[in-house]
Amino acid sequence: MAAQMLFLSLMLFITLGDIQAHVVPYDHSFTHECLVKPLGPQYGGGIVVNPELKQGLKGWTKVGHAKIEHRTSNDGNNYIVASVYGNRTSTLQNFHLEADKLYAFSAWIQVSHGNAYIKASFKTQTEDESVAGWVAGQQGCWSMLKGGIVVNASGPAQLYFETDENPTSDIWITSVSLQPFTQEEWKSHQDQSVEKVRKGKVKFQVVDERDRPVSNATVSIKQTQPQFPLGNVMNERILENPAYAKWFTSRFKYTVFENELKWTTTEHDRRGSVNYTLPDAMLNFTKSHGLIARGHTVLWGIREGNPKWLANFTIDNREELWEVANSRVNSVMNRYKEQFIHWDVVNENMHWTWLEDILGENASTTFYKKANEIDPKTLLFLNEYDTIEKSSEKIPSPWKYLLKIRELRKQGYNGHLGIGLQSHFVGMSLPYIRASIDVLNSAKLPIWVTELDVANNTGALRQAEDLEQILRELHAHEAVQGIMMWSGWNLHGACFRMCLTDDNFKNLATGDIVDKIIAEWSYATGVQGTTKSDGYFDTSLFYGEYEANINHHKLPGNSILQKFKVVPYMKAQDVVLFKISV
């Protein structure tokens, strides 16, 4: 071996295909999804009879006093005009739904005059109502209502549309789709999406000194840094509990503080008595352990989320509230400028309007402007709950979220903005989760899941199973840029909603699921392959940083180590060549 020089060449190819950029660029514009002529059904109609109404009202029925009629526009578009009786249309179509299926729903909606917020729902024998989704209906243009449902029991169901904002307006409906998927079909789609948006194709080649392919070379691959952020909340207990710190830092690189940065903590007792001891210590901990943190939260839209000494503030204290709120923003934002990757600025300000009620309708926008002026490099977030968790909730629903973004822009906030989805689940509908994120993605803003947990209503094993399904669904969606769980450890299971360990940091079922997911996404057991006769070994890897070891029988006791990255775009070059002499 010493008498002969052998040259081995390792070439890494990143196959990009049509992958979208992993980091969505900040977009100050927002285009309302509204068309003069609707597109066809998203899933080809599915089990809907006569989805595009080319056969008049065949398959469509009515009951009660409401009316429906078929119309054809000058451009040949067919649609139903459904009058509203008691805020609801009469039933428009009957279905037989199955409990083991997942249903994706879509329809194009317009209203006869004005604007109205419209929901589509299914009435079943076992449930009063199963809401598929919501849409902002407008006169003169078509908007897509996109959602999904699951049902608790198989049986008949009737489709309705409903509004409580403009009950005198007729609802126009066309291109309706209800597509059933088996669990296997849904999982297959997730897997395909993960391959497309989270992975890159990697090709290795080993050749000798004459560029001849070398077969049977072993390529061993280890991930050193994942690209997709999966993190968890932590609290002050981690500062004095080495076991907590060890358990946490061995799993997570991203975090957020549970309560330590909130206004209620840093200025708790009285106005002007500001104390940053806890968040300072927490931030020092994250830095010393190489953790990346989100900032939660500057202000809160609900009165109870702010210090108790503000409890009696009313419109009569308007000027004083402006003064103390501005002081809070200036204080916390300047102290921690550029030390967090995100800031939740006015938490839950779609559900709660305490600040707007006292300070005026532009209050949130004013604070976002101020926060952006102080810390312009940090991404500022809206942060809401029940946007993807509950299809029945109108206030935080995806279209309302889009309207909130438009409101901020209209009121003059032009800085960077992110969509925060808290994701506190009590039950789940995977089709609704997917459709809701699709709708939100039309804003072309960064989307993060910020506080994920799952309630334990039906036992620990079911809680863990639901957590795994939700994690996989979120990870599979190209628009989700990171996931933060909300499972801060507390003694005796006193977590907010979901614990991952017991008091001795032994994993619960949910913790086992998290470890399983981390191991899968980070290739904890490594990836290994052997070059074929042409000297090539191909594989697909999650985006991130890696090390590759090349072993061959001509290199007894030796291996060749190379470091490389797999990213959505290789801007400098598409092929990286490693050439090593032995």
**Residues 239 and 214: beta-carbon distance below 8 Å:** no
Exactly one of 258, 451, 468, 478 is catalytic; which is it?
Answer: 451
Exposure on the CB side of residue 19, measured as CA atoms within 13 A: 24
Helix (H, G, I), strand (E, B) or coil at 187: helix
Look up 209 and say whether it is catalytic. no
Phi, psi of 405, deg, nearest 5 = -60, -45
How far is it, in rounded angstroms, from Cα 499 to Cα 448?
A: 21
Residue of 382, 455, 448 whose CA lies nearest to 415 = 382
Residue listed under structure tokens 């550029």: 338
Helix (H, G, I), strand (E, B) or coil at 381: strand
Helix (H, G, I), strand (E, B) or coil at 93: strand
Number of other CB atoms surrounding residue 272 within 10 Å: 9
Strands (E), 323-387: 342-344, 346-347, 379-384
Strands (E), 266-410: 292-294, 299-300, 342-344, 346-347, 379-384
Helix (H, G, I), strand (E, B) or coil at 362: coil
Look up 451 and say whether it is catalytic. yes
Exactly one of 348, 468, 473, 478 is catalytic; which is it?
Answer: 348
Pairing relation of β-strands 417-421 and 447-454?
parallel
Q: Which residues contact 234 (CB under 8 A, 6 or more apart)?
A: 248, 255, 256, 257, 258, 282, 488, 489
Alpha-carbon distances, residue 81 vs 106, 169, 379 (angstroms): 17, 10, 44
Handedness of CA 304, 310, 316, 318 (dihedral sign): negative
Alpha-carbon distances, residue 452 vs 40, 392, 472, 570 (angstroms): 34, 19, 13, 32
Residue of 485, 564, 412, 430 whose CA lies nearest to 231 = 485
Q: Catalytic residues, which ones?
A: 348, 451
